[in-house]
Structure formats: C-alpha cells, structure tokens
Amino acid sequence: MSETTEQEPPVLWLKAVERSYKQGEAALDILKGAEFAVWPGESVALIAPSGTGKSTLLHIAGLLEAPDAGEVYVSGVATSGMADSDRTRIRRTEIGFVYQFHHLLPEFTALENVMLPQMIRGLTKKEAKTRAGELLGYLGLAERLNHRPAELSGGEQQRVAIARAVANAPRLLMADEPTGNLDPKTADHVFSALTQLVRASRLAAVVATHNMELAARMDRRVTIRDGLVVEL
C-alpha cells in the first residue's frame, strides 16, 4: 500500500463482525469479532479453506448477509442498521460482484450484457453502449463485442463478467474464485486484466482464490483463523 492510500479512509471496513449459525441445538461460530479493511486501488487475496467462513465473510462484506454483531462500513457509511432497500441500493451502486461462473445472459451479446446494468441504473442506451465498449476494449475484447456468451472462450466470458461488474463504477469489487474454472494460462490472463482494472480505476478489490501464485501478485493476502481475519 502506498502512503497516500493509507491516509484515505477504507472503502470497506468490517469492525468487530460476528456471525454464527444454528446447527441443530448448537451454535456454530464462524466470525468472532473479525476486523478487515480495504483501501482504494488495493487488491486483497482472501485465501481460506472451505468451512472457515470465506463465503460468510464475502457475503457480509458484499451486504448480501447481515452480521449478528459488529458493523460493516462501505465508503464510510455504516450499513448494518439499514433497511433492506437501502442495502440493496448500496450493493447496486457501490459494489460489483464476480463469481466462479460468469452468469452472463446467454441471449445477449457481450456488449449488451455490460450495457444492461447501466441502463437499469438510468443511463441512456448511447451512454451505456459507449462505456461498455470502452470497458470491453480495455479488457482486450474489442473484437468480441457482438458475440454471445456461447461464442466466447471461458477467459473471454470471465472478462465480460468483470466488465459488467464494474460497469456502474462501483468502489468495491468482490470476486469469489473468478479464475477457478479456467486453465492456468487463461487464469493468468484474466487475473492480469482484473488487477490492471483495479489499479486504473482505484477500485478496492477482495478476491477469494485458492491459487497461491495469483494471490502472491496481489497487494495483501489474508486468511480466516479462529473466526478472525489474519494477515499472511
């Protein structure tokens, strides 16, 4: 992290977050006062085995799930006490999501898939088309704009999914195993595109991955141990 980055407020800050689930009569404690922050332009790898709370942490950080205790700040705003509608609005405007499977709409072209979230937000078709074309071009897909997902390779599909996730200029990007379905060479290409975009747009990115080689190229690496987020 640069000195300037450290002086800025974090885009995401989990403060003393707790989360447990009922398992029969017993409570299964997943997060026990977890603390975690990510700053603008910073990429953080989340490396944790299944069952340690990785998905729970991602869901809480992405406002898909509320913590039992503690607070989640997004761009300095406390979110835990918000109504569902307000949390949904922040998810739409401040947070982008990329998953292991691309979830692109099969009947639409790459360009249209990236235009749609912008038009839902209120941009005109012309504005959405211009930004979608720029994003896809930046990610090396200028020749594939009018191809539908089935006509794209796995790496191309994931790059379209990344473009769609950042189409509305969120401040935070949550990615869950975004290269998990890809061969090593394609994964490397997609990962490079993702980190380049993070730095260029000053996004804060949290990327869950089992790929230690890719994780090593990120700004920081964290894991979950005994319900806490620990630096590696």
128-154 pLDDT, tens digit each: 999 999 999 988 899 999 999 999 999
What number of CA atoms fall less than 13 Å from residue 186's CA on the CB side?
14
Instruction: Give the Cα separation of 119 and 136 in Å (integer).
Output: 17
Which of 222, 166, 213, 162 minimizes the C-alpha distance to 37?
Answer: 222
What is the side-by-side strand order in the sheet with 69-74?
Answer: 26-38, 12-23, 69-74, 77-78
Write out the E strands in 82-155: 95-98
pTM: 0.86
Q: What Cα–Cα distance (Å) separates residue 138 from each residue in 121, 131, 154? A: 22, 10, 18
The answer to whether 44 and 216 have CB atoms below 8 angstroms apart is no
- Identify which has the larger pLDDT, 185 or 106: 106
Identify the CATH class of 39-64+83-231. Answer: alpha beta
Alpha-carbon gap, residue 7 to 197, rounded angstroms: 22
Spatial CA neighbour of 79 closest among 93, 22, 207, 226? 93
Model pLDDT for residues 160-219, shown as the tens digit of each residue: 999 999 999 999 999 988 888 888 888 888 888 888 888 888 999 999 988 888 899 899
SS3 179: coil
Mean pLDDT of 208-231: 92
